[in-house]
Amino acid sequence: MAELRIGGATQSDFQAAEVIVAELISNAFRHGDGIIRSEISWDDGNAVLHLVDRGCAFRIPGPPAGGHILQQSGWGLMLVAKLARKFEVENTGKGNAIRVILPVKRKIGSRRQRAG
């Protein structure tokens, strides 16, 4: 994430990006077999998280069943969907391929291909 801050524009929302990355990686470990591949790269001036896991298929959810604000679980993916510029999930048959456009714009003049 340090390289993301180095290559990202100052008006970017780095805290939201950290929440997104942490939530998705923790979910991949919690619901998969613990093997994941992740990379953050730049695409058209935006930081993009690519994450592949071997977990069960899922959809981008709305509020959890019951939806009570004090409910302890079920809010993470909804939070990711709200914080991300774009959140896509594809079931590969062996897990999930996740692509998230993070709320981080590339700093003008930065030439790094990978963001973190």
User: CATH assignment of 2-105, given 3.30.565.10, 3.40.50.720, 3.30.56.10, 3.20.20.300?
Assistant: 3.30.565.10
pLDDT band at 34 (very low <50, low <70, confident <90, very high): confident
Give the tens place of pLDDT for each residue, 24-33.
999 999 888 8
pTM value is 0.84
Backbone angles phi, psi at 26, to 5 degrees: -65, -40
Domain extents in the chain: 2-105
User: CA-to-CA distance for 71 and 75, rounded, in angstroms?
Assistant: 8
More confident of the two residues 20 and 56: 20
In whole numbers, what is the pLDDT of the chain averaged over residues?
Answer: 87
Beta strands in the chain (DSSP E): 36-43, 46-53, 86-91, 96-105
* One-letter identity of residue 31: H
